[in-house]
């Protein structure tokens, strides 16, 4: 073992939304932190149109971002609260509705541009004392006794007592840590676009489950809706090849014209979808967070929220250990984080997968059963309340 202490307490590899939030949370708890990111996030500018990538942020995520001193700037820039959620099944016609007012809340969550969150966090890092190393593609690392030694690209090395791996779903560093993932490729792509519709979105997140997959219309700040349309790969490619008029017609049809016709659309983009949960979230002095630990279907709008819950848990576990003057990267400490977050993340990931499978089944008997189930859940207010609390990041 090297007699000198590692240069840093924590190195975070990957400065997406989750990695940046983690670096900030740990720096605010007094750890010396470096964030290594392959490419600087593009700046968010007020005058520019809303970015195609948006996420539904749960109250638990807003709370964390608030603790990190980032929420006020995000909220002041451009967010759209959604107050209701309406989910319905094309086959059975059954509907499930959630209303924040019914639980005495102002909103269920917020639709926010990924770019805005990433940019706000990125800017806050320096003031919090985080050493930003960018561009830095971490190619390899080695665990040596009380430290992890990193090679952040061109020349030089860096040592830290703990490496937080936050390099996303396709994580190469997770692989290097010897951690395998389980899951399945959905063989679907999520097609995204922002659209203007005949009717107002009423600050409601709409989602229709069709034979081909779910289509969501999420309310944006400036009156448009963000479409997230999950489709089998070949069908997604067909939809991506449509011109604006044909895409608008197809999206209107798929959403059952719930907001009337689609009258205008942005260009489209698409993302591959997979279910993936790491077998363990810890290996020696390395921990996984965010999509590197778990990637989920977007139908529940929870991927980033799960990642931010990893951050809250890791910061709390490490912070408490540090306060007790113990080795914060000792295996039993990291295991505490890993146990809690892996069981919660696995449960959620498989619950979303079960929903995907349930709606993918298209026999009449299944559709009838699904309709019955949805109507029953919709009628039981306490059960709906529990589901809403869970989605919001409560217990």
Ligand X SMILES: Cc1cc2nc3c(=O)[nH]c(=O)nc-3n(C[C@H](O)[C@H](O)[C@H](O)COP(=O)(O)OP(=O)(O)OC[C@H]3O[C@@H](n4cnc5c(N)ncnc54)[C@H](O)[C@@H]3O)c2cc1C
Alpha-carbon gap, residue 189 to 186, rounded angstroms: 8
Nearer to ligand X among residue 161 and residue 163 (C-beta):
163
Q: Binding string to ligand X for residues 268 to 287, with x set by CB under 6 A, is what?
A: ---x----------------
Reduced to 3 states (helix: H, G, I; strand: E, B; else coil), residue 211 is: coil
* In the complex, minimum distance from the CB of residue 13 to ligand X, in angstroms, rounded to a whole number: 5
User: Could you tell me if 118 and 49 are in contact, meaning their C-beta atoms sit under 8 angstroms apart?
Assistant: no
Neighbouring-strand partners of residue 363: none
Instruction: Decide if residue 172 touches ligand X (CB under 6 A).
Output: yes
Which of positions 80-119 make contact with ligand X (CB under 6 A)?
114
Closest approach, Cβ 292 to ligand X, in A, equals: 6
Q: Is the dihedral of CA 336, 393, 168, 343 positive or negative?
A: positive
Write down the least CB distance from residue 69 to ligand X, Å: 19
Which CB atom, from 55 or from 96, has the smaller least distance to ligand X?
A: 55
| Region binding ligand X by CB under 6 A among candidate stretches 16-24, 43-51, 142-150, 254-262 | 16-24
Which residue, judged by CB position, is nearest to ligand X in the bound state?
16
| 289 in Cβ contact with 166 (< 8 Å) | yes
Work out whether 231 is an interface residue with ligand X (CB under 6 A).
Answer: no
Give the chain's radius of gyration (CA, Å).
22
Residue 155: burial class (beta carbons within 10 Å; 0-12, 13-18, 19+): exposed
303 and 309 Cβ atoms separated by less than 8 Å: no
Q: Decide: 286 and 143 in contact? Cβ < 8 Å.
A: yes
Residues 25-44 that bind ligand X (CB under 6 A): 36-39
Least gap, CB of 91 to ligand X (angstroms): 23
Site membership for ligand X, residue 176 (CB under 6 A): no
Q: How far is the CB of 154 from ligand X (least distance, A)?
A: 13
Angle at alpha carbon of residue 294, lines to 290 and 300, rounded to 5°:
95
User: Could you say whether residue 301 binds ligand X (CB under 6 A)?
Assistant: yes
- Burial status of residue 242 (CB atoms within 10 A of its CB: 0-12, 13-18, 19 or more): middle
Q: Are 297 and 356 in contact (CB under 8 A)?
A: yes
Strand-pair category, 262-265 with 225-232: unpaired
Contact 135, 150 (CB under 8 A): no
CA distance 57 to 302: 8
Q: Does 138 bind ligand X (CB under 6 A)?
A: yes
Among 10, 25, 26, 55, interactor with ligand X by CB under 6 A: 55
Give the interface segment with ligand X, choosing from 14-22, 313-321, 354-362, 380-388 (CB under 6 A): 14-22
Of 250 and 320, the one with the shorter C-beta distance to ligand X is 250
From the list 60, 92, 302, 321, which residue makes contact with ligand X (rule: CB under 6 A)? 302
Using the structure block, give the residue that is written with the tokens 């009258």: 263
303 part of the interface to ligand X, by CB under 6 A: yes
192 contributes a contact to ligand X by CB under 6 A: yes
Please state whether the peptide bond connecting residue 97 to the residue before it is cis, i.e. omega within 30 degrees of 0.
no
Options 213, 290, 345, 393; binder of ligand X; rule CB under 6 A? 290
Give how far the C-alpha of residue 390 lies from the chain's centroid of Cα atoms, to the nearest Å.
15
The residue count for binding ligand X (CB under 6 A) is 35
Residue 291 interacts with ligand X (CB under 6 A): yes or no: yes
CA distance 106 to 76: 17
322 or 390: CB nearest ligand X: 390
Distance, first Cα to last Cα, the chain: 42
14 binds ligand X (CB under 6 A): yes
Residue from 12, 18, 125, 130 touching ligand X (CB under 6 A): that is 18
Footprint of ligand X on 151-170 (CB under 6 A): 166-168
Does residue 307 interact with ligand X by CB under 6 A? yes
19 lies in the binding site for ligand X (CB under 6 A): yes
DSSP H or E run through 345: helix 331-360
Question: Which residues are at the interface with ligand X (CB under 6 A)?
Answer: 13-19, 36-39, 55-56, 114, 136-138, 166-168, 172-173, 190, 192, 228, 271, 290-291, 298, 301-305, 307
């Amino acid at each position: 073992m090297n007699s000198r202490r590692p240069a840093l307490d924590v190195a975070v590899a990957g400065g997406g939304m989750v990695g940046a939030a983690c670096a900030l949370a740990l720096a605010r708890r007094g750890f010396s932190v470096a964030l290594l990111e392959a490419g600087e996030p593009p700046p968010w500018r007020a005058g520019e149109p809303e970015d195609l990538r948006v996420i539904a942020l749960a109250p638990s995520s807003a709370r964390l971002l608030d603790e990190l001193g980032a929420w006020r700037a995000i909220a002041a820039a451009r967010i759209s609260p959604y107050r209701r959620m309406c989910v319905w099944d094309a086959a059975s016609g059954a509907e499930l509705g959630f209303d924040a007012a019914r639980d005495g809340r102002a909103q269920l969550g917020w639709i926010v541009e990924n770019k805005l969150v990433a940019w706000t966090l990125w800017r806050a890092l320096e003031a919090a004392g985080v050493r930003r190393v960018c561009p830095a593609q971490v190619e390899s690392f080695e665990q040596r006794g009380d430290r992890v030694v990193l090679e952040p690209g061109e020349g030089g090395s860096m040592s830290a007592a703990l490496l937080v791996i936050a390099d996303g779903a396709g994580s190469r560093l997770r692989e290097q840590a010897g951690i395998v993932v389980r899951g399945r490729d959905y063989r679907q792509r999520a097609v995204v676009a922002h659209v203007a519709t005949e009717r107002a979105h009423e600050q409601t997140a709409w989602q229709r489950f069709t034979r081909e997959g779910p289509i969501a219309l999420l309310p944006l700040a400036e009156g448009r809706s963000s479409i997230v349309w999950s489709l089998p790969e070949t069908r997604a490619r067909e939809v991506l090849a449509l011109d604006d008029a044909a895409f608008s017609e197809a999206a209107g049809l798929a959403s059952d014209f719930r907001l009337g016709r689609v009258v205008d659309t942005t260009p489209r983009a698409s993302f591959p979808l997979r279910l993936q949960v790491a077998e363990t979230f810890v290996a020696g002095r390395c921990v996984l967070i965010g999509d590197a630990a778990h990637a989920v279907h977007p139908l529940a709008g929870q991927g980033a929220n799960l990642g931010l819950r990893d951050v809250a848990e890791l910061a709390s576990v490490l912070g408490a250990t540090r306060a007790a003057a113990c080795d914060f990267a000792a295996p039993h400490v990291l295991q505490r984080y890993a146990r809690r977050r892996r069981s919660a993340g696995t449960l959620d990931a498989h619950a979303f997968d079960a929903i995907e499978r349930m709606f993918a089944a298209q026999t009449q008997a299944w559709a009838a059963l699904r309709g019955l189930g949805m109507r029953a859940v919709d009628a039981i207010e306490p059960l709906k309340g529990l589901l809403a609390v869970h989605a919001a990041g409560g217990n």
